Copies of this chain bind each other. A is one copy, B any other.
Amino acid sequence: MTFSSYIRQSREGLKAQDRRFSVRQVAQRIGVEPAYLSKIERGDVAPPSEGKIRALAEELNEDPDVLLAMAGKVSSDLLAIIRKRPKLFAELIRDLKSMPDHAILRIARDVRDGDW
């Protein structure tokens, strides 16, 4: 599923329960023109900036990192972390490329639990 159709689906789903999720009202709350949001939802234009995507994620109760990924982007805070230690993170991420989800989850958990 593309970013555009995913957003449309998500918003339409909420709209079914709550009329406040019209294109116009959502657009206003996230600070863009309705016509622009409409174009975004139809893939008529490229996905918006990270800031707008974050606002959209909050508005639609979606995970910002997932939405950003669908938009072909990566959160700028993650980029900053990687850029501070480029060799370290580049090596690690490339090593993890082919690892299954559960292995990565386990690493994350171990790290959080301070097993290092």
Seen from chain A, the residues whose Cβ lies within 8 Å of a Cβ on chain B are 63, 65-66, 68-69, 72-75, 77-79, 81-97, 99, 101, 103-108, 111-112, 116
Contact = CB atoms under 8 A, between A and B. Distances in A.
Contacts of A78: 82, 89-90, 93-94
Contacts of A73: 83
Contacts of A75: 90
A41 to B, nearest CB: 21
Contacts of A72: 83
A94 B81 contact: yes
B87 A104 contact: no
Contacts of A90: 65, 75, 78
A90 to B, nearest CB: 4
Given A74-B79, A99-B116, A103-B116, A91 B68 contact: no
B97 A81 contact: yes
Contacts of A83: 69, 72-74
